Structure 1
């Protein structure tokens, strides 16, 4: 509870921050199940059931926990694949279909702006390419290549302006259609050629159906948009303020 309380107070939260207490969560769940199982004989005596009912209730508890855990796990897995796998599927599809146009020894700049946190891995980028960042409304510190001689890092998560490239330096852009575009976060798909698109869940209000897939209800409750791979044609430049 202490760790969860400290985590809840932080403005930036990620699942990986919970890993130090995963063993304690499992231990607490095991103790809870054991205590509930030990309470069953008392419950049987209290409501005056037959002694044979103890074994039946324990079996019912055991299988109920397994079935409930299985249903929640499958529901969560489907929700992740359905709503959040678009970046991986987009880059994987683009690589397998040789969508990226490589020109000799030229290195491609594959840019990303407001969707910087969706980028899955450099392993999914084609050879002779690199990830580049377009400035968005995010004001924290973005990652970059680590070099011993490179000292443009800070321990306060403050924005570093050298992370960004100009829009005209981009060969491709990864971007989703936003319902609320702005000067720094436009919908680049309106200004360029769409190469590939993948459906993904749109940023919206919190809902249990975003975390767990429920047939029919999730589709009706969630809003979806498209994540695009865009080819550079003619973009409206965004001023790097």
Structure 2
């Protein structure tokens, strides 16, 4: 009776059963190896269906999360995101919520970016949100605040749909365990919690990038290219950089098979998006406009540029990444070397030493096809590093500029955790899970701290809205107020959450009907403030009008201010101190 032969199982492979002949698995590996070499030689990588650390898909025996489970959790967290996150950037208020408010209610604040002279913001992007908001304005006619929050819920659901698709794609291409790690990371990350429901092109670019990554991992080329084109042209033109993985795979690595496919799909996707964008923006501006081109020209060529709005050292982004990603950041940075350390042993294929009964000899195959399964995380990491290099080197920095690479950080962190789990074996299996738990706890604490310390601004505006709108036995008396009622703010102008927190009409106990408008009073701020859009019957007449007292140099326009004596209400922050003659403590004057 021949002695039993021992077989070393490569890392990531499923061990054969006791009754399974060793030679059958060896023959399978031989056939797969020959197919790898043949298909790679013919430029056909599309048939290589292994996963990152699994030579064959069947070797991935981990169970993925159920779809219903993921959808329920995503819905719950994204609803919470809509209600429990604050507006971190006044650009979100004045460049997007105010433009949307104008489209729905006919009034709002205009920034210089929406002047037809400059035209660097896209009305097409605003229009995508117009119809759901218009429907909500009829459905929730009694409360504009409810419209505001419900739209944020819808934005969160859009983000959740992208997360769901990317999770599924990661499971199919990288592995079920990595997919589960990624899902938990993106669900608990405070960075994605705050970014997901924001009404910003950077968030839109992040979400479209997530769709692009999901389609790319599934090799659905047209939809991946269309997602990149939409994110870049409709959202933020610099987001085109995040299409780097698609370009490198189709144009460089698999050029013999996919080069002309890329050219064709890029031309079609670009034409579709650009034609819609050009049509809508040209209509609202009353001239030929390609908004993303104007953005690039302003930031790169104009000579003014974003530096007018502040410059920061490179440590600014490091601090933001640490606050939003805590311990995930160092693991994401070392994900590629950790994964490489695990990948090579997982890809060793067994070879029978014919005619002998000794242990099986093992050898790796170092071909282009050999690296096919490793390629996705290399390209994802490369795109994130290129993006970081570009924006770290820019003098003007904002937290939202890093938002589009949040999915990359989450994917790399998930890969690092899986690689670490494989390296330390079963004895220390709890360590990666402990790291994930610590990350979730830190993220939760960070989110709770921001909400506790900064949500008072929004709550104040909500209470102020109710002051005018909620009908009770003690209705207000507006006879001593101006028409419209003038609400003023000075140094707190950048914390105004939008005109959705100002009622269209308010009726007092005498039946007097008044509008409520926000005005600015003098403060220590010396930059340019937005101004009211003109009132007209047709929206296009408003958006095409060239406003006076507008500039792209961030120079103060004194006409924005009203005398403090004309204010019926003042919204201000009282910390017990005075900010000088331009920022007195108004609470002490009452």
Which TM-score band applies after superposition, normalised by the shorter structure? 0.5 to 0.7
Task: State the distance in 2 between where 1:39 and 1:153 align.
Answer: 60
Task: State the distance in 2 between where 1:119 and 1:87 align.
Answer: 8
Q: Deviations over 1:184-233 (max 9, x none)?
A: 011100112xxxxxxxxxxxxxxxxxxxxxxxxxxxxxxxxxxxxxxxxx
Figure out how many residues of one structure are paired with residues of the other and give that number.
Answer: 175
Change (3 A) 1:71 1:105: same
Whether contact under 8 Å (1:112, 1:174) holds in the other structure is yes
Comparing both structures, which one devotes a greater share of its residues to strand? Answer: 1
Greater Rg by CA: 2
Q: Deviations over 1:117-172 (max 9, x none)?
A: 11112111233111111111111121223443214322222222222111122110
Deviation at 1:26, TM superposition (A): 2.8
Which residue in the other structure is 2:428 paired with? 57
Say which SS state the counterpart of residue 583 (structure 2) adopts: coil
1:182 and 2:580 matched: yes
Comparing both structures, which one devotes a greater share of its residues to helix? Answer: 2
Could you tell me which runs of 5 or more consecutive residues in structure 1 were left unpaired when the two chains were aligned: 41-53, 193-241
Deviation at 1:105, TM superposition (A): 8.6
Which residue in the other structure is 1:74 paired with? 444
Which residue in the other structure is 1:119 paired with? 496
Whether contact under 8 Å (2:487, 2:518) holds in the other structure is yes
Whether contact under 8 Å (1:3, 1:21) holds in the other structure is no
Change (3 A) 1:3 1:25: farther
1:21 and 2:408 matched: no
Deviation at 1:177, TM superposition (A): 1.8
Say which SS state the counterpart of residue 162 (structure 1) adopts: helix
Change (3 A) 1:15 1:37: same
Which residue in the other structure is 2:416 paired with? 32
Q: CA RMSD in A?
A: 2.6
Change (3 A) 1:124 1:109: same
Task: State the distance in 2 between where 1:36 and 1:134 align.
Answer: 57
Say which SS state the counterpart of residue 176 (structure 1) adopts: coil
Which residue in the other structure is 1:217 paired with? none
Deviation at 1:25, TM superposition (A): 2.8
Whether contact under 8 Å (2:490, 2:522) holds in the other structure is yes
Say which SS state the counterpart of residue 528 (structure 2) adopts: coil
Task: State the distance in 1 between where 2:412 and 2:548 align.
Answer: 44
Which residue in the other structure is 1:132 paired with? 519
Whether contact under 8 Å (1:140, 1:159) holds in the other structure is yes
Task: State the distance in 2 between where 1:25 and 1:33 align.
Answer: 12
Change (3 A) 1:158 1:94: same
Could you tell me which runs of 5 or more consecutive residues in structure 2 were left unpaired when the two chains were aligned: 1-387, 470-475, 505-514, 534-541
Which residue in the other structure is 1:166 paired with? 563
Change (3 A) 1:38 1:160: farther
Task: State the distance in 2 between where 1:177 and 1:140 align.
Answer: 22
Task: State the distance in 2 between where 1:113 and 1:27 align.
Answer: 43
Whether contact under 8 Å (1:113, 1:135) holds in the other structure is yes
Which residue in the other structure is 1:214 paired with? none
Change (3 A) 1:111 1:78: same
Which residue in the other structure is 1:45 paired with? none
Which residue in the other structure is 2:551 paired with? 154
Change (3 A) 1:126 1:180: same
Task: Provide TM-score, normalisation by structure 2.
Answer: 0.27
Change (3 A) 1:5 1:154: same
Task: State the distance in 2 between where 1:72 and 1:101 align.
Answer: 48
Whether contact under 8 Å (1:140, 1:157) holds in the other structure is yes
Say which SS state the counterpart of residue 131 (structure 1) adopts: strand
Say which SS state the counterpart of residue 94 (structure 1) adopts: helix
Deviation at 1:31, TM superposition (A): 4.1
Deviation at 1:76, TM superposition (A): 1.8
Whether contact under 8 Å (1:137, 1:184) holds in the other structure is yes
Task: Provide TM-score, normalisation by structure 1.
Answer: 0.63
